[in-house]
Amino acid sequence: MAPDETRGSAKDLARDELILAQSAFYLDEQGDVEAAALLLDVADIDFIAWERDYDITNYRACLNAPGWLAKRFTPEIIERVESVLRKIAARHDVHIYDVVIGAALPFVDHTWRESLYARLSGGTVTNHAVRVEPDPRLRRDGFNFDSLEEIKVYDALKRAQADLVKHDPANTITIFPLPLGRVGIGSSWTPDFLVVRQGKIGLIEVDGPHHRGRAGADTTRDRHWKNSGVIHIERILVEETSLDRDLDHLVRAFLQRILR
């Protein structure tokens, strides 16, 4: 059984949630925005008694992540998270043995078969094929996103849109987050963003850690997009563009290239 809840200044948070929250903030303070953003999307954390070392119980920290998020926890990221989680948990008298990724249970009810069938067949599409129960933290302006990185890029596109309107209302852009489209080879793909400016279109793909080792596949995918009529494609590596000003520069350069 896990230790009792901490009695601290954050009385509104249970001990486990407090450790998770403080670890996420600490990672952000260290400049590890990538790992902090992933912890923000974790549903909860369990501390499972794993072994005893004399009078001390060591715990396995289980980060319960939804399926779409779990694959983004690479061994390198888990190692960085574990390093911080050990320090924070120790301040709450919780001694961590190791860190693993568990499963956050999706919301289901008695209609789960019908809901899953509709989802698999495309019947629950909003702006794209979303999860069974979209995470409210990944909603913005009525759209559902897959990550906080996508929301950052969306905000940069909105800033560019507002700036263009301010200077010339007839020369702005339309933003389509995560639209579902069918390319020439017969596959249905969802780019992160489709942007229209003065009758020309471009795509933005937000590449995170889950794209590591996929350069060949991404190149092939981009070629099929171009063969299907989409010439302007921008890939934004979120790990190198965490600051708003960097994203603004990339987005506005992309919008200029669309016009060529």
Per residue in 37-87, pLDDT (tens digit) is: 889 889 999 999 987 777 789 999 999 998 888 888 999 999 999 999 999
Q: What 3 state SS string does 8-53 have?
A: CCCCCCCHHHHHHHHHHHHHHHCCCHHHHHHHHCCCEEEEEEEEEE
User: For 79-109, what is each residue's pLDDT tens digit?
Assistant: 999 999 999 999 999 999 999 999 998 878 8
- For residues 33 and 91, what is the distance between their CA atoms, to the nearest angstrom? 22
- For residues 11 and 39, what is the distance between their CA atoms, to the nearest angstrom? 21
pLDDT band, residue 5 (cuts 50/70/90): very low
Q: For 136-258, CATH number?
A: 3.40.1350.10
Per-residue pLDDT, 145: 87
Query: Among all chains, which residue has been given the structure tokens 């501390």?
Result: 47
Task: Give the CATH class of 15-103.
Answer: alpha beta
Mean of the pLDDT values across residues 119-135?
A: 51
Instruction: Please tell me the least confidently modeled range out of 17-21, 82-86, 204-208, 247-251.
Output: 204-208
Per-residue pLDDT, 132: 44
What six digits make up the tokens of 46? Answer: 């369990």
Q: Is the pLDDT of residue 22 over 50?
A: yes
Per-residue pLDDT, 62: 96
CB–CB of 73/85 below 8 Å?
Answer: no
Q: Please give the helix or strand (H or E) that residue 87 lies within, else none.
A: helix 75-91
What are the extents of the domains in the chain? 15-103, 136-258
